[in-house]
Each structure stands twice: as structure tokens, then as C-alpha cells.
């Protein structure tokens, strides 16, 4: 009798601990959604304004970053609608939240992938990069990405409304793994180009070109690490669901990492533009 009572008490304590942990995780996720909306929404339009006004390298050379910032504005609005959706007063925004989820899981990784491929071509295949440097090629690539993103938005609505989470998990895992593999390839290729000298490069010429290669390598490295921290929890939660048919807390952790990962790109751009030092100066 005492053993059964002790086991019941231990089980109740364990259940309460798990429930408390899930409650804290949900509160953290909701807070991160509000942080993303309050701080991300001003940051991304500011980056767009800097690109359009010519503070950086120009619209043509930063066209992918411009489109990524537009995509991130949609993600910030998604955080707002998700936070409001938790309230019974704003339950009508659920479909809009599902629509913007497709933009988040498709738009951001593909635009980040385009940025890394562009840096890869500039370092490893400069002749090809110059050939496709005109703005029209960037417009074509971004148009294709936006079409894919729109299709993903519609797909997210159908799968989430129909509660077909298995297909949703499979699509997300594939969409996260493919761009990550491409970025990893670009990272390794730029690293090899950085370590070896090209034909005719000697001494001073090599030293002058290396900073350009290092800059491209560090940009791809930071973007790849950011993408790993942003999408790996989502991918893991997708595989967990396919095996156990339960997301548990892995999905909440993935959402938190995904939201925080959206701050990396604007911080990188503002650092390149020298704006943080201006903002921090007295």
C-alpha cells in the first residue's frame, strides 16, 4: 500500500514538473513573439530604407537582402498575429497566421540561400558572377522564390486546417535541409578558395584579394550557423513527429530559435553599414 502511494506521489510530482516546464516554455515563446514584432518590425524597414537610399552598395548588389528584409516583415507580422491568436478576442486571425507560416518556412531559407550562392559565385567563379550580375537575373531569382513562398503559404493553410501534421512535418524538414546543404557546400567551396591561390596570384595580389574572400567566407559562415541554429530544431521536431506523431516541446524550442534567428541578418547589415556605432554614440 505504501509502495503504491509512493509511486502515485512520484508520478504526480513528475507530471506537475512537466506541466510547469511546458507552461514556462509557452510563456517564453509568447514573449519572443512580442519581442520579434516590437524590435524586428522597425529594424527590417530600416534596412530596406538604407538599401533604397543608397547607404550600402546599392539596390542591385543588395537586392537579395532587400527581398529577405521584406520577407522578414511578414515574419514579424506573423509573430503579432500568433500572439493575438492566443487571445480569445482575436481568434479570427488564425488563417492569416497559417498563411504567413508558409512565408516563414520557405521565404527566409531560400533568400538566405540566394545570398550565399551569390557570394560563392563572386569568390569561386568571378567570371560567371559578372555574367549574371545585372539586376534582371536577381529579379528573376527573387520572383521564383516569391512564387514558391506563395505556394507554400497556400499549402500551409490546407495542411494546418486539415490537421495533416504528418505532411506538414515532411515538407518543412525537406525545405530546411535542402537550402542548408547548399549553403554548406558554398561555405566549403569559399573556404577552399580562401586557402589556395589562383593562377597568377602571388604575394601582394594574393594579400589584397584575401580580405574579400575572408569577408565572403565569414558572411556565409555566420549565415550557415544562424540557419543551423534556426532550422535544426524545426527539422528535429519534424522527424520526431514522423516517428512519434507528437511534437511535444521540440516545436516550441524550434519556434523560439526561428524567431531569434531573424535578428542576425539586419544586425549584420547594420554592422556593415556602420549604423550600430552611430546609434551607440553619445
197: helix, strand or coil: coil
pTM here? 0.81
Structural domain for 69, as ranges: 23-265
Given this model, what pLDDT does residue 16 score? Answer: 55
- For cell 520572383, the residue is 143
Does 78 map to a domain? yes
Does 277 map to a domain? no
| Domains: count for the chain | 1
Does 212 map to a domain? yes
- pLDDT by 10-residue block (mean), the chain, 282 residues: 50 54 74 89 91 75 91 91 74 79 87 89 88 90 94 84 73 80 85 67 52 73 78 77 68 81 85 63 41
Of 158, 152, 172, the C-alpha closest to 247 is 172
Does 231 map to a domain? yes
CATH number at residue 29: 1.20.1070.10
Does 273 map to a domain? no
Does 225 map to a domain? yes
Given this model, what pLDDT does residue 281 score? Answer: 42
Does 4 map to a domain? no
Amino acid at each position: 500500500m505504501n509502495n503504491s502511494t509512493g509511486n502515485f506521489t512520484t508520478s504526480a510530482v513528475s507530471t506537475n514538473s512537466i506541466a510547469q516546464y511546458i507552461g514556462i516554455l509557452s510563456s517564453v515563446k509568447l514573449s519572443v513573439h512580442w519581442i520579434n514584432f516590437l524590435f524586428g518590425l522597425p529594424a527590417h524597414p530600416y534596412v530596406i530604407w538604407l538599401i533604397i537610399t543608397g547607404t550600402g552598395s546599392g539596390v542591385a548588389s543588395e537586392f537579395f537582402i532587400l527581398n529577405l528584409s521584406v520577407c522578414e516583415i511578414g515574419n514579424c507580422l506573423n509573430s503579432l498575429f500568433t500572439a493575438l491568436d492566443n487571445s480569445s478576442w482575436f481568434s479570427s486571425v488564425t488563417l492569416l497566421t497559417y498563411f504567413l507560416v508558409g512565408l516563414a518556412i520557405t521565404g527566409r531559407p531560400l533568400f538566405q540561400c540566394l545570398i550565399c550562392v551569390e557570394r560563392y559565385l563572386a569568390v569561386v567563379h568571378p567570371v560567371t558572377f559578372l555574367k549574371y550580375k545585372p539586376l534582371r537575373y536577381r529579379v528573376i531569382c527573387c520572383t521564383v522564390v516569391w512564387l514558391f513562398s506563395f505556394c507554400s503559404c497556400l499549402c500551409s493553410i490546407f495542411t494546418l486546417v486539415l490537421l495533416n501534421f504528418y505532411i506538414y512535418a515532411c515538407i518543412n524538414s525537406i525545405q530546411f535541409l535542402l537550402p542548408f546543404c547548399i549553403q554548406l557546400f558554398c561555405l566549403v567551396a569559399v573556404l577552399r578558395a580562401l586557402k589556395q591561390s589562383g593562377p597568377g596570384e602571388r604575394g601582394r595580389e594574393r594579400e589584397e584579394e584575401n580580405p574579400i574572400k575572408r569577408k565572403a567566407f565569414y558572411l556565409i559562415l555566420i549565415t550557415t550557423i544562424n540557419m543551423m541554429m534556426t532550422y535544426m530544431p524545426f527539422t528535429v521536431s519534424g522527424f520526431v513527429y514522423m516517428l512519434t506523431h507528437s511534437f511535444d516541446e521540440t516545436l516550441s524550442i524550434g519556434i523560439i530559435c526561428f524567431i531569434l534567428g531573424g535578428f542576425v541578418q539586419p544586425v549584420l547589415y547594420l554592422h556593415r553599414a556602420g549604423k550600430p556605432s552611430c546609434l551607440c554614440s553619445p
